[in-house]
Homo-oligomer: A and B are copies of this chain.
Amino acid sequence: MKASIRKIAVLTSVAAALASALAAAAVKPETAIHYRQSVYTMIGWNFAPMVAMIKDKTPWDSAEFAKHADRIASLTPQLLEGFPEGSDKGAETEAKPEIWQNMDDFKSKMSDLVRETKALSDVAKAGDEAKTREQFKKTAGACKSCHDKYRSEE
């Protein structure tokens, strides 16, 4: 009896996993492309006022900086799901096909970005301008390292 309950439980979770996989597979490439571009747009929107402060074009405002850094830190972990297998084409995209040929490296660069944006949010929240400026450089470096290799810019 217990064994059959276990069997049913296993079958149910297999079915659930399958259903999730099918649901994920049902996402059209253009939908994924549009989604990931939206995440980048939101990151860019929040990046702009931070850059303005970093370049002293607007006065330093720790609370504002921390707000934008916190948003970016919550957006970066949502990027990777926008790059499913097969979404190298389907709509206009700057994502190079090399991404899917080097997915482990791409994932590793994404996890660098997640780590650096989280660190930026933490240091910005603490309110130390010098340390925030320092960590901002590292974060921008994580963006650049991935763009250099995997983003085609005309």
Contact = CB atoms under 8 A, between A and B. Distances in A.
A85 interface: no
Among A41, A52, A71, which residue has the most Cβ atoms of chain B within 10 A? A41
Contact of A78 (B20, B23, B42): B42
Interface stretch (A57-65, A88-96, A102-110, A114-122): A57-65
Contacts of A151: none
A62 to B, nearest CB: 12
Contacts of A9: none
Interface of A is mostly: helix
A12 B61 CA distance: 12
A48 to B, nearest CB: 8
A145 interface: no
Nearest to A34: B41
Interface residues of A, number: 25
Contacts of A52: 23
30 contacts: A12-B59, A15-B59, A16-B58, A16-B59, A16-B61, A19-B58, A19-B59, A20-B58, A20-B59, A20-B61, A20-B64, A23-B49, A23-B52, A23-B57, A23-B58, A31-B45, A34-B41, A35-B41, A35-B42, A35-B45, A37-B38, A38-B38, A38-B39, A38-B41, A38-B45, A39-B42, A42-B78, A71-B74, A71-B78, A74-B74
